[in-house]
Amino acid sequence: MKPERFFKAMFADWPAKVLSLAVALLLTLFFSLTRLEQRTISIPLTISLNDEMAPSSQYPRMVRVTLRGERDVIYGIREDEISASLDLAEYKSEGVYKAPIRLEKRGSALIADPLEIRPEPSEVAIGLEKRVAKKVPVTPSFKGFLESGFELTSFDIAPPEVTISGPAGLVARTTEISTDTIELSGKKSDFTVDVRLLMKESLLSLEGKESVIFSAKVRRSLDVKNFVNIKILPEGLLPSLALADLLPTGNVRMHIPEESMQGFDQDKLLSIDLSPFTKPGTYSVDVIVAAPDGAIVETYEPQTLTVRLQNSGAAGMGGRLSGSIAPSVTSINGAGNSGDVKP
């Protein structure tokens, strides 16, 4: 075919030919699009900040990312091959800032083609405040009850304080950090556990370990007994001295095992030591409680006495007597029973 006839045939009816080519391209594109599928994954959102600032408002910790491409391609991408982040490191003053979510591809996501990815949401607004730190006490949180007949006498937490950091306003309002629940059910002896600390505010962070050591002392429940009108015995008084006045009686409230009551002489429960004094005068002395083994003194009175000492040959030798009121004991046991016992 001659060149003249070739070009003439090629450009004959060219509008129809161009339209046909466009339709063919559209059909090809439409066919390709119908072969693409969509997959949605959730990935963690990380925030980049400078050391001076901390988030003061809640923000999404996870973002949804939509992958669009051929089925074999998008389902061959692992979730850890796409990361989402917010870059707020440039902001050094308090306020609310809006920043776009940046996506980064790794591994097979880099070579996937065709691949379209987009985050939901595409940007996030977040408040920033100055970052501060302070120490707060740790308080235990309990669950359940000890074995019947036992009680928790004391406990220790190591360390007793931890350091928290975060936005200034939230740190100022935080006065303590609680532990995870400590199970007491069925316990009847001392125990020690490593317990996790609970951060109820996600905007706060712990500096150091995220757990503490909780140690508890457990014992059998003790009866509560009230000893009233107990004589206070003067001990160590030199023969050359005598009390110028009658001593008052005292009261003692203590937790005591029932077996410790056997052979216990409550008349010797309270005393004062006068052995340091060698001449007449007025002195302040501490009252001594001689509790039996296994007993725990809750309170007693009086705790101190003012005594006057005189020469034993002086008048008022009757002052050696410490009172004539009979002592008594009131027992309050675990069942709530009570009664008076007089010697």
Interval 153-200: pLDDT, tens? 899 999 999 999 999 999 999 999 999 999 999 898 999 999 999 988
pLDDT score at 168: 95
Domains in the chain (CATH in brackets) are 35-129 (2.170.120.30), 131-220 (2.170.120.40), 223-341 (2.170.120.30)
pLDDT score at 340: 38
pLDDT band of 21, cuts 50, 70, 90? low
Query: What SS3 class is residue 155?
Result: strand
Q: 312: burial class by Cβ within 10 Å (0-12, 13-18, 19+)? A: middle
174: closest CA among 215, 203, 207, 145? 203
Do residues 196 and 180 lie in contact, with contact meaning Cβ atoms separated by under 8 Å?
yes
- Calpha distance 252→174 (Å, rounded): 41
Interval 27-69: pLDDT, tens? 555 545 456 789 999 999 999 999 999 999 999 999 999 999 9
Mean pLDDT of the chain: 84
* Least confident span in 110-114, 171-175, 304-308: 110-114
Mean pLDDT on 121-134? 95
DSSP assignment string, 196-233: EEE-S-TT-EEES-SEEEEEEEEEE--EEEEEEEEEEE
- CA angle centred on 211, ends 55 and 151, rounded to 5°: 130
Mean pLDDT on 132-155? 91
Q: What's the number of CA atoms in the CB half-sphere (13 Å) around residue 338? A: 9
- Calpha distance 245→268 (Å, rounded): 20
- Calpha distance 203→57 (Å, rounded): 8
pLDDT band of 20, cuts 50, 70, 90? low
Mean pLDDT on 279-296? 90
Q: Is the pLDDT of residue 309 over 90?
A: yes
* Least confident span in 68-72, 261-265, 324-328: 324-328
Considering only the C-alpha atoms of the chain, give the largest distance between any 2 of them, rounded to a whole number of Å. 160
pLDDT band of 17, cuts 50, 70, 90? low
Q: 129: burial class by Cβ within 10 Å (0-12, 13-18, 19+)? A: buried
Query: What SS3 class is residue 268?
Result: helix
Interval 195-216: pLDDT, tens? 999 988 999 999 988 999 999 9
